[in-house]
Amino acid sequence: MAQAKPRLVPDVSQRDIEIRYSFTGAELLLFGAIIYPGGRAPDGGTDIAVVVKGPTQPIVVREKQKVLGIWMNVESERFRSAPAFYAVASSKPLSALVDERTAAIYELGLQNLQLSPASGTTPEQRRRFEAGLLDLQERGQLYSENPRGVEISENVLYRARISIPARVPVGTYVAETFLIRDGRVVAGAAREIRIEKLGFERAVADFADDWSLAYGIVSVLLSLGLGWAASAAFRKK
């Protein structure tokens, strides 16, 4: 008989995150237990990596260059299925846990994301635009890595914290947990997380989706009205 494998029992502190006018971000607690065959934990060598990502979407990255003294968008690259949000935390640096092949299979680490470029650019151009995309998303706090972000107690209980920024896109996210031992992923489990807008923000988003032309006209008129009001106020002073 094949040797029995351990399994994960994961959970998250919030399955539903609501974005309202006062939303300034959230902190997800990912926690759980490792269930071993026979109920006995092995001596050392057990590590955990957790990944929160989603939803996938097409992203266009544009590269600016100075042309005749003016910064202009010169080249661009379209990625078909880049995650809008990606965060990974692990009990040790990923390079110390798994080899490059395993990291690529499970998309562990920013450098192993499968971004699916749409155009037939050269490998050098593709790498440049991929690096640009990762840099933009990291600066926007939408992509992150924490090589010491998972705590493990007695080789049984684990927990990790993932920060969700205020400008996170709405949609369905997946929180994945991987149990790693001797360089191999020996168990995995996932939980879904839903991020959605409620209240006034939801009404505005629905209006923009269902009545895009009217939304655009209202936005322009509102901008003109605010500009006129500000100008009138300064004239009175």
Per-residue confidence (pLDDT) for residue 125, from 0 to 100: 83
- CB atoms near residue 196 (< 10 Å): 14
Residue 39 CA to residue 33 CA, distance in Å, equals: 12
Per-residue confidence (pLDDT) for residue 75, from 0 to 100: 78
Question: Per the structure block, which two tokens stand in for 129?
Answer: 């635009």
The DSSP 8-state label assigned to residue 100 in this structure reads: H
54 alpha carbon, distance to own chain's centre: 6
- Element spanning 22, H or E: none
Per-residue confidence (pLDDT) for residue 200, from 0 to 100: 47
Residue 1 CA to residue 150 CA, distance in Å, equals: 33
Residue 177 CA to residue 206 CA, distance in Å, equals: 33
For the beta sheet containing 7-12, the strands, ordered from the edge strand earlier in sequence to the opposite edge, are: 7-12, 26-35, 157-164, 150-153
Per-domain residue ranges of the chain: 7-55+82-197, 199-237
Question: Per the structure block, which two tokens stand in for 64?
Answer: 């600016």
pLDDT digits (tens, 9 = 90+) for 74-113: 778 888 889 999 999 999 999 999 999 999 999 999 999 9
Residue 143 CA to residue 133 CA, distance in Å, equals: 10
Measured at the CA of 24, the angle between CA 173 and CA 196, to 5 degrees, comes to: 35
Question: Per the structure block, which two tokens stand in for 211?
Answer: 């009545």
Torsion sign across C-alpha atoms 215, 220, 224, 226? positive
- Longest Cα–Cα distance of the chain, Å, equals 87
Rg (CA), the chain: 23
- pTM for this model (two decimals): 0.78
Q: Which fold has domain 7-55+82-197?
A: Immunoglobulin-like (2.60.40)
Per-residue confidence (pLDDT) for residue 207, from 0 to 100: 47
Segments of the chain scoring below 70 in pLDDT: 1-3, 21, 66, 73, 120, 198-216, 218-219, 225-237
Residues constituting the chain: 237
